[in-house]
């Protein structure tokens, strides 16, 4: 208020000077004019809330409020000095002075804002300089949020619109994508923040590839719905994930079809504490079943999932029951299924880590083959309407025990479907899930955090990848379409070279791959050779016969199977070979059951190697 009173006085002096062209005489009635100005302006400004404004946040609305106040102030001031008149004060001053007062008061607020927000030299030295990729509404909102932060400073924008290139937003230039590497170096940027929530996955992938060329850290905002719901802010920034580089357009599932299949019914998920099992449970919860049974032998994983689902089910609309038990335990499975009579069983429980199963083939067979037969038999006994097996691309022409056991599990379900028509048995086959247990992504991420090197078995290896939410949605969609006996194949997009995956993860971390050409790089990629049973390439289809479904990402494979009466003796033989010192026979029996199984090398089982030759077991 003291500042505004001083500005009222200054505006009076300057207005008279502008009108007369010289300083007014000492006996001029300026004190009267100044007193009238202060008496009219300050109470009015107070009433309009100008002194409740936080000056450090003063913006356009504050300037508009000042304009409104000065307009109202002009009326009494003009009445006194223009209509009534005061001797010695030119009448036109009644219009000049309010204009000068508005300019002075508005300028004082703008100055206060920039002075109060100006970072100290200490802050300037520690603030991260960031470039925002995207000069649209999301980018401008992000810049506004950063303006209030104490640790970041926006130094420029990047946008692929030719119409915006070279323009300026709040004093910061907008650069074309081709100028990004040079601009990041010239502006000494520490990070690139992606504010492109509406970009397609393919476009996002291309933008991230461009940004990676700068060699600095890249972070991004979430999807468009977070912007729409007003959740944009610095807290929503996250590191770019490898999922952002898949570059596939998502296909919306038929939610109504899935809900009709699940809503108000009882669903059971085995292996619920795992990556796919847990994601399935989260998606199922959203479809509002009456009861959701979580079955797992992993106590900690089951506890964590139960706690997470309870937090999403605060209203208690879904009855969530965590149940400890092994799918190989017929008595326990019979208890559970008999007590709740689930309408659909999603069987995700399996051992799936290829090298571990290669070293422990008996346990892999016990769970992945005989466990499936046990659970499917119990489901058929209780006439469970639907049973869905989560399979893998490693079941196609397997070269390892894990893949062979998963193909054997598919054969079990195909045989059970033909023998027990009261239960609809189906299978869903897909590749690697990003971030799941056993996936290379968590391993590579940990190796990068530790400073490297990244260990790569073979640079030629390719794999199919998809995200856990995408996989879970397509599993539920396939389950809702099943008629019995189908092997559903999920579209995984093009296969990804693991060497490219490792390189992208290093670059997304803002680091440089260490090679002979770039010896000053940060992380080295080291080739260690293929592990036991590991394939260079994976496939999704055994034969050539496929047919489409109503979903553009799901196909059905037409594959031969063994009738149950012929399959049962082979399963009994597998069960008899789980004992010690019979691993070679077990592998041979798996080969008879799955003719396309082509094991690489001899027996790798740790126990048998140790019993045959202790020193050999230690070397192996």
Q: Which residues are the active-site residues?
A: 394
Integer Cα distance of 424 and 383 in angstroms: 9
Integer Cα distance of 154 and 191 in angstroms: 10
Integer Cα distance of 119 and 411 in angstroms: 68
For residue 230, what are the contacts with CB-CB under 8 A and spacing of at least 6? none
Contact of 88 with 34, CB cutoff 8 Å: no
Count, residues in the chain: 620
For residue 619, what are the contacts with CB-CB under 8 A and spacing of at least 6? none
Other Cβ atoms within 10 Å of 83 Cβ, number: 9
Contact of 559 with 567, CB cutoff 8 Å: no
Residue by residue, DSSP assigns 459-503 as: TT-EE-EE-HHHHHHHHHHHHHH--SS-EEEE---S-EEHHHHHH
Other Cβ atoms within 10 Å of 165 Cβ, number: 18
Locate 356 and state its tokens: 């571990």
Please give the torsion angle defined by the CA atoms of residues 396, 346, 248 and 458, in that order, rounded to the nearest 10 degrees.
-40
For residue 510, which phi and psi values (nearest 5 degrees)? 75, 25
Beta strands in 115-166 (DSSP E): 128-133, 152-158
For the range 166-169, what are the long-range contacts, defined as Cβ-Cβ under 8 Å and sequence gap of 24 or more?
Answer: 167/135, 169/135, 169/140, 169/143
For 53, 175, 190, 274, 443, the CA distances from 437, given in Å and listed in that order, are 53, 41, 33, 8, 9
Locate 304 and state its tokens: 């964590």
Integer Cα distance of 368 and 358 in angstroms: 13
Locate 389 and state its tokens: 């097996």
Integer Cα distance of 368 and 228 in angstroms: 45
């Amino acid at each position: 208020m003291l500042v505004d009173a001083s500005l009222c006085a200054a505006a009076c002096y300057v207005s008279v000077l502008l009108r007369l062209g010289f300083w007014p005489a000492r006996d001029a009635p300026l004190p009267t004019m100044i007193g009238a100005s202060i008496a009219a302006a300050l109470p009015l400004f107070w009433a309009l809330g100008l002194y409740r404004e936080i000056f450090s946040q003063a913006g356009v609305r504050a300037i508009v409020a000042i304009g409104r106040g000065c307009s109202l102030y002009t009326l009494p001031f003009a009445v006194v000095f223009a209509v009534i008149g005061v001797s010695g004060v030119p009448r036109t001053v009644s219009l000049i002075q309010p204009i000068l007062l508005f300019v002075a008061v508005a300028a004082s607020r703008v100055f206060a804002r920039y002075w109060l927000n100006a970072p100290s030299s200490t802050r300037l030295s520690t603030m991260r300089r960031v470039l925002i990729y995207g000069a649209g509404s999301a980018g401008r909102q992000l810049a506004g949020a950063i303006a209030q932060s104490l640790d970041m400073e926006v130094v420029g924008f990047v946008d692929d619109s030719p119409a915006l290139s070279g323009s300026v937003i709040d004093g910061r230039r907008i650069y074309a994508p081709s100028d990004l590497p040079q601009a990041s170096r010239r502006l000494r940027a520490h990070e690139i923040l992606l504010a492109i929530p509406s970009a397609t996955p393919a476009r996002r992938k291309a933008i991230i590839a461009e940004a990676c060329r700068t060699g600095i850290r890249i972070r991004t905002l979430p999807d468009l719905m977070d912007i729409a719901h007003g959740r944009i802010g610095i807290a929503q920034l996250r590191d770019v994930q490898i999922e952002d580089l898949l570059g596939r357009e998502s296909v919306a599932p038929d939610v109504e079809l899935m809900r009709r299949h699940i809503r108000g019914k009882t669903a059971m998920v085995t292996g619920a504490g795992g990556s796919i099992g847990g994601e399935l449970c989260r998606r199922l919860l959203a479809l509002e079943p009456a009861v959701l049974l979580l079955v797992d032998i992993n106590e900690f994983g089951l506890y964590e999932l139960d706690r997470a689902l309870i937090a999403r089910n605060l209203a208690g609309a879904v009855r969530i029951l965590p149940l400890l038990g092994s799918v190989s335990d017929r008595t326990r499975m019979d208890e559970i299924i008999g007590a709740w009579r689930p309408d659909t069983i999603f069987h995700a429980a399996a051992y799936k880590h290829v090298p571990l199963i290669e070293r422990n083939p008996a346990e892999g067979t016990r769970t992945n083959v005989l466990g499936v037969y046990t659970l499917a038999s119990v489901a058929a006994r209780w006439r469970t309407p639907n049973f869905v097996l989560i399979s893998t691309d490693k079941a196609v022409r397997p070269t390892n025990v894990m893949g062979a056991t998963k193909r054997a599990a598919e054969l079990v379900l195909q045989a059970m479907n033909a023998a027990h028509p009261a239960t609809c048995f189906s299978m869903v086959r897909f590749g690697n899930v990003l971030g799941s247990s056993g996936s290379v992504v968590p391993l590579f991420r940990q190796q990068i955090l530790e400073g490297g090197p990244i260990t790569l078995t073979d640079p030629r290896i390719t794999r199919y990848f998809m995200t856990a939410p995408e996989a879970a949605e397509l599993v539920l969609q396939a389950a809702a379409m099943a008629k019995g006996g189908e092997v559903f194949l999920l579209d995984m997009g093009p296969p990804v070279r693991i060497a490219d995956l490792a390189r992208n993860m290093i670059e997304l971390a803002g680091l440089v791959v260490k090679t002979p050409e770039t010896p000053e790089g940060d992380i080295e990629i080291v080739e260690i050779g293929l592990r036991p049973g590991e394939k260079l390439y994976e496939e999704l289809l055994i034969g050539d016969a496929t047919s489409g479904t109503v979903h553009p990402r799901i196909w059905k494979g037409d594959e031969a199977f063994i009738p149950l009466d012929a399959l049962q003796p082979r399963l009994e033989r597998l069960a008899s070979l789980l004992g010690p010192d019979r691993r070679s026979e077990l592998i041979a029996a798996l080969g008879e059951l799955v003719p396309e199984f082509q094991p690489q090398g001899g027996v790798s089982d740790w126990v048998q190697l140790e019993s045959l030759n202790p020193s050999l077991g230690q070397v192996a």
